[in-house]
Amino acid sequence: MATAAPPVPEPDDMDCSVCHEQYVQPKLLPCGHLLCHHCLLSWLQSQDQALCPLCRCAIMDPDERGQKSWQDVADGFPTDLAMADLVGAHRLLKQSHSCCICEEAAATCLCLTCGDLFCESCRKIHLKQKIARNHTVEDLTFLTADKVAGSQHTACAVHADKTTELFCPTHGESICHLCATSRHRSCPEVKDMEEKVKDARAVLAELAVTLTEGEARLDKAIQQLDDHLAKTEKQTKKAVAEIEAVCARLEKSVQDCRHRLNELAHSACSDVKEAVTETKRCLLQRRGKLTSHKHVVQRVQEAKNRDTVSTMTPVMQTRVGNLDCSATLPSGVTVVSKETVVIDAEAVTRIEKELSALGQAKVMSADLDFVPVPVLSFHDNHGKNIVLSNNKQTAQRRGREIYDGIVVASQPMMTNMLYEVSH
């Protein structure tokens, strides 16, 4: 499923919402928003609750507070390398530079191959050199941050004069050809970086589809809530109109009754509206997380820097796997049927004697036709070496001292019972 390429972020989109300056080491929060590392740390230290300043989603589980320092919490979030690359490229284009050769004239162009800045005269000299004849030199006036970020090649961590062209899955790091023949000679498989990036982009494309489909499901559920809110409001107005029509026929003695019935009509619908509004808020918050992560996935997917794509892909796989992309109602949130007011015509003739019988209740149903998505989850009763996450949909071992496998059963196991496992 093809998806449209996301637009390159404008300069304002590269600003942190806390310091209002361009991102410095942008950290990816659980909700998908970004904050500078130092801004995130300052924000956590200054707040009673660890909530995102943009959407108020929890930044960390309250149960984990006290187990880690705020510094460890801030350091633990992944860095959005795609955004960091764009910000760095944008800063480079906005700065005034001198030619790297003559150092007297202002630089007018950038070599995308070697990253050096030249004036117009030195540009010609650079391209005449045998080693640089195939280099790409662009005018600074027409360069974009996206193009500059995509042209940057990561230097090998061991051989600074070499660029990383290969990837070692065994060690999970990008290496140069010299490293492949020396430090990684015994590794069972060393992939070409292009192949690694191609596989990563395929995974990112699947993640984008997952997030888009989740957005669509949530949009449908939110629209149903909006429709029900409109229906509830219409029924409320209808009930109030009927009450006003009856009260118009009565003398001063009905004024107290009118007030009571109006309050009853509004009260009958208020709980439904409150429940639906709260449910909508929860779903909007869930959709916000999907949208934020979708933007990050698309940004990484379109990133030109191959190391960025390679590094961010497993991070986003884990993050998207932990998101709830379903349109089911949040646990503990229900939309219940309430009562509204209907006028009893016979009671009108007895209004002077039976004012208390003027109002009669009628059931108003909340017709929400959510289509639940079957979700399998693990039972709370599990071994001590197992950790459940992702709403109990993912099980992982705490360590790998014995076996890599996890034994599961269709029914929860009983305590104090010995089971035999065969394979």
Per-residue pLDDT of 326-380, as tens digits, reads 887 766 555 555 556 666 667 766 666 665 655 565 655 555 555 554 556 677 6
In 137-254, alpha helices (H): 145-151, 177-181, 193-247
Give the range with max mean pLDDT: 269-273, 307-311, 406-410. 307-311
pLDDT at 36: 92
What kind and span of H or E run contains 160?
Answer: none
Tell whether domain 96-151 is in CATH 1.10.3470: no
- Does the pLDDT at position 404 exceed 60? no
Task: Tell me the percentage of the chain whose pLDDT exceeds 70.
Answer: 71
pLDDT at 3: 47
Q: Write out pLDDT tens, residues 297-315.
A: 998 888 888 888 888 898 8
DSSP structure string for 375-407: -----S---TTEEEETTTTEEEES--SS-S---
Task: Tell me the percentage of the chain whose pLDDT exceeds 90.
Answer: 4
- Does the pLDDT at position 149 exceed 50? yes
Calculate Rg over the CA atoms of the chain: 31
389 compared with 26, residue with greater pLDDT: 26
pLDDT at 2: 44
Tallying the residues shown for the chain, one arrives at 423
Please, which residues bridge with residue 34 across strands? 28
Place of tokens 């961590």: 157
Confidence of residue 35 (pLDDT cuts 50, 70, 90): very high
Mean local confidence (pLDDT), 50-77: 81
Q: In the chain, where are the structural domains located?
A: 11-81, 96-151, 194-364, 376-423
- Does the pLDDT at position 421 exceed 70? no
The number of angstroms, rounded, from the C-alpha of 208 to the middle of its chain's C-alpha atoms is 11
Mean local confidence (pLDDT), 195-212: 86
Across the chain, mean pLDDT equals: 77
- Does the pLDDT at position 201 exceed 60? yes
Listed residue (72, 207, 88, 210) closest to 146, CA to CA: 88
Q: Which of 19-28, 309-318, 395-404 has the lowest mean pLDDT?
A: 395-404
pLDDT at 38: 92
- Predicted structure pTM score: 0.53
Q: What is the dihedral of CA 48, 49, 50, 51, to 10 degrees?
A: -130
Cα gap 118→99, rounded to integer Å? 4
Please check whether residue 355 is in contact with residue 257, taking contact to mean a CB–CB distance below 8 angstroms: yes
- Does the pLDDT at position 321 exceed 80? yes
- Does the pLDDT at position 409 exceed 60? yes
Confidence of residue 34 (pLDDT cuts 50, 70, 90): very high
- Does the pLDDT at position 29 exceed 60? yes
Mean local confidence (pLDDT), 176-183: 80
Give the range with max mean pLDDT: 93-107, 238-252, 338-352. 93-107
Alpha-carbon distance values, 331 to 144, 259, 282 (Å)? 46, 37, 10
Tell whether domain 11-81 is in CATH 3.30.40.10: yes
